[in-house]
Structure 1
Amino acid sequence: MRSLGTFFLCLVGVVTATADTPMNLVIIQTDEHNFRTLGCYRETLPAEQALVWGKQAVVQTPAIDAIAHRGAICTSFYATSPVCTPSRAAFFSGRYPQNTGSWQNDLPLAGDIVTFAEVLRQNGYATGYAGKWHLDGPGKPQWAPERQFGFQDNRFMFNRGHWKKFEITDKGPQVAARGKNGEPSYSLAGADEKSFSTDWLSDRAVEFIRQHAGDPFCYHLSLPDPHGPNAVRSPYDSMYENLPIRPPMTFAHEGENPGWVSGGGKNSSLKFSAQQMALYFGMVRCIDDNVAKITKTIDQLGLTDRTVVVFTSDHGDLCYEHGRLNKGNPYEGSAKVPMIVAAPGKIPAGTRVDQALGTVDFSPTILTLLGIDSKLQPKAIEGRDASALLLGESNDDWNDVTFLRSAGMKPGWLAAVSDRYKLVVSVSDDPWLFDLQSDPDELVNQFGRPDHAAVTKSLAHALQEYAQSYGDTHLESSPIAKSIESMIGR
């Protein structure tokens, strides 16, 4: 039997909603997530791209797919810097990583940054956060950082780590698995549906949503999976162990990677592991089942029609593409991430946005989508408002290019990316131009070919303009600057 308090919350959520009631916002963000593991993204790809690990090596993700089908899926959404901290800094601030204080992992977000959560808090939203933050320096796990950046209820926010088991104690939340020295451990340690990280954090989101069903609210759920270590509770740990999982076709091309790939050249030490991929798939399926739990709760409370639901990730994982794991480079598997947005009554069901976008564009886009006037948004925002694309409105002035950078202030590489082309300029190799339409595996360098001269010059000019406008110190590198100038002068 439901308590009177729960009944009242449900009643408020259904009865008091009017046309003027602000829409809620629920964001589910994963960590190091390859977009091809989601059914809704496989639907946008030809079979050879959707099924890179084999025809039967797929994860069914009905809950995440349902969000995409009733809203918008962005097919060319990129981590502005494909590493945890700088990507998240751009996501929450709407500023390029070099202007946030968090241009590489473990550097704290600058104290003067105004996040979209702070804007919503100032506009009457109840705000909360559970999961990995990675924007408050080196602390690990460091629960409930003192600097909230707009997330009022951050009791279940931890700064760093990819823990597998949590618990609530008299002293607050803590990692439930411990090593021999008593320190927090990444061990599963018998984690179940109540204590495993994805389940435990999702339960905190459900609790917040129920508690604030009568208020406009913003809740950010940041799941540490499917980032490694690849470990997941039963039954997900064995769910995909018998699948015929094979290495991606590009795994065999590991010795042909450009110089800007981390480490450069051949990664001969990496051996393909179907078992590791099976566990990765299991983590994704566990995430999807918890997404279902959250969306079901929203529906039961009568909030579906006035809640914007976002599913995304901070960066990708190559998952053996190009003979690599993890992230940090501009290859699609590393830099391209899911971005799915459902906004009932605003975004038409089945919307597909193919234009290139980046995490830096999220803050202005979501604030506008929620009806926050541009005058009330932070003046320091550098990302673009892409809400018109999500709403299906015409935007003839839209420039289909987004910019990516290597982590850190030491020059590495810069990239200009459109829906079709990707230009990468680095300190360690000649420029690379990929035609993602004819070469989706990113194996052929089109740079220097006469039929691609115009697009090369256009992207180079855009890259120079971006770097000069937003103070990207990578442009100060002589090799990068000279390469760009040479392309513009062609």
Structure 2
Amino acid sequence: MPGILHHLSAFLIAACFLTAKVLCEDTSTPPNVIIIMTDEQNLRTIGAYRDLMSNEQAFQWGQNVFVDTPNIDRLANEGVIFDNFYAVTPLCTPSRASFMTGLYPKQTGAWKNHGTLKKNKHSFAEDLMDTHDTVYLGKWHLNGVTKDSTDFNNNPNRKFGFKNTSFQYNRGHWKYFSQEKWKVTAYDWSQRGMFANNEEQNYATDFLFDKAISFMKNKKDKGKNFAVMLSIADPHAPNEVRAPYNEMYNHISFQLPSTGKKAMRLNPALPDWGQVDTFSPETAESNISDWENDTVLQKGMQNVFGMIKLIDDNVGKMLQFFDDENLADDTIVIFTSDHGDMMGEHGRLNKGVPYKASAQVPMIMRWPNKIDSGKIIKTAYSSVDFAPSLLGMMSVEAKNINSSGIDGSSEIMRSGQISFNEEQIRFLTDSKMKRWAAAITGQYKLVLSKDGPWLFDMIKDPDEMINYYEDPKYTQLASTLKNALIDTIDKFNFPLKQRSYLADTPECWDSKNEISGWDNNLCSDLNDIQNRPACQWDFVSSQCPRVCGECCHDSSGEFWLFKAMRTCAEIQEEERFCQHSAAQLFCPESCGLC
């Protein structure tokens, strides 16, 4: 019998080495966790992400225009970096609500900015609070429109699993905090003179990092596990930062990214959801010059770099704390952001569109000896997948959250340097504008809107400028993504469901590019009676068949109208549909426009 037990024990030990590490971890002592979330951060402002890009992609603002982030990079080098992690909605409130709950925006109730997370929804903290002391510090943005400089810890019935919310506030991008006993007060940039001698102590980023470190030190000394959510409001505007970070990047001049220049020239054309009203071929060069010579904009972007450098320095301070306190091996450290920032890409600032600069976010996780160092995950994930993945990593049963996302913990914990499941499809949605919805994989992105489908191949075209939807090589892929996206729009009540959108390209479709051979003119210019005679030129009518009256055929395929998919055959039987522009565009013959 002893011999049998010996062989059985050896077999079990060997099995642990041959299977995924997560299956054999000793979970009797759960790990600590800290999640650092910044607000509105472009991936290119992190060195570890630039390292994953081509030189052209990494340095969109110029070859020597970058901010060093050695401490965030250290997390990536010692852990896993996600190369295709997206904000489910690239907007503060809906992104945060989905991140906390694992639900799509309409499920949370907080699908618009400044919306309120439904009280009956649950965050991942509720499944951690039995084993961890949970704390939330910083911007919350899930309690509605409230914005008050003394709005700290004022919602005892809306803690969502966070036992300590003493340093949590709802919204606002306050630049300084002060504390008197347990009363915390926030201040904006105009009040900075109050802290001239104590900026490092009172500047918001420093203040919150220090409070988080103090909390973790206290719990460590008491032998308690901690779960910390640290939400930093920088580098979101206002684009101001304390000294000396406010002058660190004054020597830098930001070029307008190449995609911004192309966008302003409308060459190639942009989807409707990517348009900016001021874009015109006639004014493109002056617009580009104005952008690059705008001193206010340049200083603002220099300060964005300064804010990020300050964040990175505080990450370094926190990592040193973990090393000094022997907590590194027992603590999962996560760095992410609620959404991106266009920073001039595609001619835009801020967020709200499905381009990578707006919707893709950093996601870096370190857990020494549990997650392989230097691992890259290229599989697509989104905000709804975070909560189930975190609980899965920690071997915590999800008793409270009922996630609509994917538990990616097995991929995170599995050994290997590169992990890529191209078949995994995730979904993104616009907010109250209801302009678009998107399906993404590690390589492809399909966006549906009233403008017709746009399919991007993000390896062939990392600038996201070329629409491959009509390319025969992509037919099967496009169909798979489209069907999955339409089902998800319907199942999770994406806002686009309330509008009309085109699931296929209309038969009669005018080019949106500048008309080749007729400089600075677009097909839409032919609606002007003075330009109409140009339709007699074949090179014009071939590019603008619809507006020139050369094409008037019903389209094959489908479009969404009045909460259902429609075809032109149905339009013939329901005249009321033809009152809508989508039906007129897709089915001009059936609508009697020929």
TM norm structure 2: 0.74
Partner of 1:451: 473
Does residue 147 of structure 2 align to residue 140 of structure 1? Answer: yes
Q: Paired residue for 2:128, among 87, 110, 120?
A: 120
Does residue 169 of structure 2 align to residue 158 of structure 1? Answer: yes
Q: Which amino acid aligns with 2:210?
A: D
Q: Paired residue for 1:413, among 412, 428, 436?
A: 436
CA contact (8 A) 2:175 2:189 kept: no
TM norm structure 1: 0.89
Structure 1 stretch 272-281 or stretch 287-296: which is displaced more?
Answer: 272-281
- Pair 397,377 (structure 1): closer, same or farther in 2 beyond 3 Å: farther
Q: 1:145 Cα deviation (Å)?
A: 3.8
Q: Residues 354-391 of structure 1, C-alpha deviation per residue, up to 9 Å, x if partnerless?
A: 011101100000001011135x352x210100111211
Q: State the distance in 1 between where 2:254 and 2:193 align.
A: 25
Q: State the distance in 1 between where 2:329 and 2:31 align.
A: 9
Q: State the distance in 2 between where 1:168 and 1:350 align.
A: 40
Q: Residues 436-484 of structure 1, C-alpha deviation per residue, up to 9 Å, x if partnerless?
A: 1111111111121212212111110110222233233423433256778
Q: Which amino acid aligns with 1:258?
A: P
CA contact (8 A) 1:136 1:145 kept: no
Partner of 1:271: 291
Q: Which amino acid aligns with 2:153?
A: A
Q: Paired residue for 1:218, among 224, 227, 235?
A: 227
CA contact (8 A) 1:71 1:343 kept: yes
CA contact (8 A) 1:403 1:415 kept: yes
Partner of 2:552: none
Q: Which amino acid aligns with 2:177?
A: F
Query: Which has the larger Rg?
Result: 2
Q: 1:23 Cα deviation (Å)?
A: 0.1
Partner of 2:273: 260
Does residue 114 of structure 2 align to residue 86 of structure 1? Answer: no
Q: 1:297 Cα deviation (Å)?
A: 1.2
Partner of 1:3: none
Q: Secondary structure at the match of 2:165?
A: strand
- Pair 177,433 (structure 1): closer, same or farther in 2 beyond 3 Å: closer
Q: 1:144 Cα deviation (Å)?
A: 1.6
Q: 1:396 Cα deviation (Å)?
A: 10
Q: Paired residue for 2:352, among 324, 328, 344?
A: 328
Q: Is there any run of 5+ residues in structure 2 with no aligned partner, and where?
A: 1-25, 506-556, 568-594
CA contact (8 A) 1:258 1:264 kept: no
Q: State the distance in 2 between where 1:159 and 1:149 align.
A: 13
Structure 1 stretch 351-360 or stretch 190-199: which is displaced more?
Answer: 190-199
Partner of 1:475: 497
Q: Residues 32-80 of structure 1, C-alpha deviation per residue, up to 9 Å, x if partnerless?
A: 0001100100111111011111111111101101111111000000000
Q: Residues 402-453 of structure 1, C-alpha deviation per residue, up to 9 Å, x if partnerless?
A: 1000012x632100011111111113x1221111111111111112121221
- Pair 52,118 (structure 1): closer, same or farther in 2 beyond 3 Å: same
Fraction of identical pairs, as percent: 38
Partner of 1:65: 73
Q: State the distance in 2 between where 1:118 and 1:263 align.
A: 42
- Pair 398,440 (structure 1): closer, same or farther in 2 beyond 3 Å: closer
Matches within 5 A, 1:5-404: 20-121=28-129, 123-141=130-148, 142-146=151-155, 147-170=158-181, 172-177=183-188, 190=196, 192-213=199-220, 214-255=223-264, 256=266, 257-261=270-274, 263=276, 266=279, 271-272=291-292, 273-374=297-398, 376=399, 378=401, 380-392=402-414, 399-404=423-428
CA contact (8 A) 1:316 1:333 kept: yes
Q: 1:244 Cα deviation (Å)?
A: 4.1
Partner of 1:461: 483
Q: 1:274 Cα deviation (Å)?
A: 2.8
- Pair 104,263 (structure 1): closer, same or farther in 2 beyond 3 Å: farther
Partner of 1:441: 463
Question: Cα RMSD over matched residues?
Answer: 2.5
Q: Secondary structure at the match of 2:44?
A: helix
Q: State the distance in 1 between where 2:236 and 2:329 align.
A: 32
Q: Secondary structure at the match of 1:381?
A: coil
- Pair 367,485 (structure 1): closer, same or farther in 2 beyond 3 Å: farther
Q: Is there any run of 5+ residues in structure 1 with no aligned partner, and where?
A: 1-17, 180-184
